[in-house]
Homo-oligomer: A and B are copies of this chain.
């Protein structure tokens, strides 16, 4: 009798939601229930494994707070975030590719003038990041907004250090579509491993590292906003990003240069790095 229930249960669960109101919710739950049940059948999950799963999901939720989103980390490390990104950003050729938002975005960064230093006072190699925001035909977009954030030279985002706030800012393009800012050269770093997701990665024999990158959200009136990274060319984790976020078109050379004249027209007494990148946006409704 147990084995008969084993066969009929999925249909019994699906039958219970047939009449419900919202068509899209029904569609999502139907697919979810089918796949969840198929997973349990395929693996013949033991009761101990099921309970380990319950404990993992509970602990993952309880690790979340206003500064830490362990479920986004889980989605990222299982490739789910990049899959959702790919499905939702099937852009025409020529547009800048997108990648994961990640768990460290904070809304409401301050507006800064061109060439402001978002990493003021932080140690590490100074870096100048500049370029243009263009449409897919190569025409400059004036007044586009770049919201940027990154880690410090020890690999930490500000929100990972109690009370800290650094390496974030918003910039606006000029009439030629140009933007520019100063920062420190980002470094590769491990995603947080002190929670359930870290244990899972360890159990899968995977390292937790992400290649060095600067996060950017780029938006302009009339264009589809993009969320992406600029990855540092040559980083040793480009081929094995813990969250599967790397795309070739987003890998940018950060040229290490000797002390001297800097891209902002000033000069530096220390060696510095320079990265140049043009973002390309698609008009709304063309995606």
Contact = CB atoms under 8 A, between A and B. Distances in A.
A39 B45 contact: no
A247 B206 contact: no
A86 B98 CA distance: 44
Nearest to A8: B86
Contact of A36 (B60, B80, B98): B80
Contacts of A136: none
Residue of A57, A78, A86 contacting most chain B CB atoms (<10 Å): A86
B40 A205 contact: no
A183 B264 CA distance: 82
A79 B25 contact: no
Interface stretch (A68-76, A124-132, A269-277): A68-76
Contacts of A137: none
Interface string A69-97: 11110010011111111111111010001
Given A39-B35, A61-B64, A80-B37, A6 B87 contact: yes
Interface string A231-249: 0000000001000100101
Nearest to A84: B50
A59 B58 contact: no
Given A2-B90, A26-B204, A205-B17, A58 B71 contact: yes
Interface of A: 1-3, 5-6, 9-10, 12-13, 16-17, 19-22, 25-29, 31-33, 35-47, 49-50, 54, 57-62, 64, 69-72, 75, 78-91, 93, 97-98, 203-206, 240, 244, 247, 249
